[in-house]
Amino acid sequence: MSSGMAITGEILTVGDEVLQGRTVNGNAAFIGRSLTEAGVQILWACTIPDRMDEIIAAVGQAMDRADVIVITGGLGPTPDDLTRDALSRAFNMELFEDPDQRDHVEGIFRKFGREVPSVSKNQFLTLRGAIRIHNPHGTAAGIHIERDGKHLFALPGVPQEMREITEDYIVPVVREAFPDARHYSKTLRLAGIGESLLVEAFGDRSRLDQIVELAYLPNHGLLDVRLTARSDDPHEAEFQIAEAESYVRECTGEHIYGIGTVRIEKVIGDILLNRCQNIAVAESCTGGLICSRLTDIPGASNWFERGFITYSNRAKNELLEVPESLIKVHGAVSEQVAAAMAEGARKNSGAYWSAATTGIAGPDGGTPEKPVGTVWIAMSTEKETRTKLLQLGSADRELIKLRTTNALLFSLYRILIDTIE
């Protein structure tokens, strides 16, 4: 029996704004998921202030104990961006002006009809002896340093730039450098079910626990379940993952919308695109969040028709033709109004599908009959309109909007699956 090779990883996030809670550290989560999928076992994650000595010390410690180190943040043009200089000192590598990087930065500013300001000319610099990682969307180049079989990557902190470099450069390099890395896990993406209900649906888990380790990663109506094989033997591990996945699908298959890192809005878009159908969305309490999520997907223009942000009753009447009498009798937050919003969005856009939300996001506006967190969602085609009541409790406005969005996207996904033509 052959044994997989355990490759360890560490993620370093640089920035006072992360330590102080002014920025949520979504970068580390994305990098962790990506490296795990590439077979790297993430054992450490650290957030470092914008201080030269702290960055150098963290890099030294990471190089002592990890095979793959990814740093995010601190590569920008301002005085508090110290990662590039810290790496120069930590590895005794000279900073020099790279002609290709200079051309790239100048080209970005040229698009906006501007000269490169003096404060941004440090973006021309890179480390002699390191690999400059091209950043197509920004001025901060990534950095790749290899020492004694270990790989360190420094990435800009801008999420879009970080994600693209991670997917297009880091993951392929890591897979090539560590082809025998253990990667005996699989992530199933679920929605519409919580952890407790999922565990209850599993019933007797004795066989499942024998062959895999289970990790539950909830996110406000969405839930990732990661299956990690207990065997190091590739063939046995593959069998364990397949057996475990089959069991989970048997118990809760209707809640699984994808695997790996695929987003539910991407799955919805692919279904609509494959059917040559499109969708319009009418939003009240979610205030455009659903439209934003759908249009985050590249190519959404092929299947997303338009959105209506109808926050006021007048907007519902004027843009969606929801009768004033209907709102007066049933209230803006009602099954009848949600259905009328969805039907109005479909009729006034010409889209094949439509969806709508109306609810009470709080903290005010609730009543005993309709407390804060009461939300109605609706989905409509020419053939039928379906509605669903959500009772999301007294969470803050942001969470209610997020949970409503996730619930609607999953309901839309299920209807699309149930209406395969």
Q: What is the pLDDT of residue 212?
A: 93
CATH number of the structural domain 7-177: 3.40.980.10
Q: What is the pLDDT of residue 420?
A: 62
Is the pLDDT at 265 greater than 50? The verdict is yes
Domain residues of the chain, as ranges? 7-177, 185-259, 264-418
Q: Write out the H or E segment, with its range, that includes residue 345.
A: helix 335-349
Order of strands, sheet of 256-259, starting from the edge strand that comes earlier in the sequence: 212-219, 222-229, 185-191, 256-259
Handedness of CA 291, 374, 343, 317 (dihedral sign): negative
Is the pLDDT at 3 greater than 50? The verdict is no
- Which range has the worst mean pLDDT, 3-12, 154-163, 398-407? 3-12
Give this prediction's pTM: 0.77
Amino acid identity of residue 119, one-letter, is V
Q: How confident is the model at residue 394 (pLDDT cuts 50, 70, 90)?
A: confident
Tell the CATH topology of 185-259: Alpha-Beta Plaits (3.30.70)
149: left (phi over 0), alpha (psi -120 to 50) or beta: left
CATH classification of 264-418, choosing from 3.40.630.30, 3.90.950.20, 3.40.640.10, 1.10.10.60? 3.90.950.20
DSSP string, 230-247: S--SHHHHHHHHHHHHHH
Q: How confident is the model at residue 6 (pLDDT cuts 50, 70, 90)?
A: confident
Residue whose structure tokens are 């999922």: 198
DSSP letter, residue 116: P
DSSP letter, residue 181: B
Q: Rounded to whole angstroms, how far apart are CA atoms 131 and 144?
A: 5
Q: What is the pLDDT of residues 133-161, one digit of tens each?
A: 999 999 999 999 999 999 999 999 999 99
Are the beta carbons of 31 and 48 closer than 8 angstroms? no
